[in-house]
Amino acid sequence: MEPIIIDIEDVIDLHTFRPEDVSDLLDDYIRACIEKKYLSVRIIHGKGQGFLKKRVEKLLKHHPLVVSFTTAPPEAGGWGATIVTLKKA
């Protein structure tokens, strides 16, 4: 299977990725965002039953390059997205 190349922006929508790829994907994404000097990013995981949100939060909680994270405000996706503050490069 060939890797998927995505443009790095301050938002990523996880709906287009397989759940088993999320761990590696988020690590690569966070590192790429720091290289691009993004200090705040939005991860869209959807609302659903909350399984993906919990998985994302668990990964963020233990990631060494994450300062903090919180549920997005309503205009940015609300419960279906997470705002992440990253460490400076």
Q: Output b/e per residue, 23-32; b: 16+ Cβ within 10 A.
A: eebbeebbee
pLDDT in tens, 42-64: 999 999 888 999 999 999 999 99
Helix, coil or strand: residue 85:
strand
> Residue 59: its pLDDT value, please?
96
Q: Residue 4 falls within a domain, yes or no?
A: no
CATH code of the domain containing 15: 3.30.1370.110
For the chain, what is the domain count? 1
pLDDT in tens, 69-80: 999 999 999 999
Range of the domain at 63: 11-86
Q: Tell me, rounded to whole angstroms, the distance of Cα 27 from its chain centroid.
A: 9
Residue 60: Cβ within 10 Å count = 19
Q: Residue 5 falls within a domain, yes or no?
A: no
Spatial separation of the C-alpha atoms in residues 14 and 22, rounded to whole Å: 8
Confidence check: pLDDT of 6 > 80: no
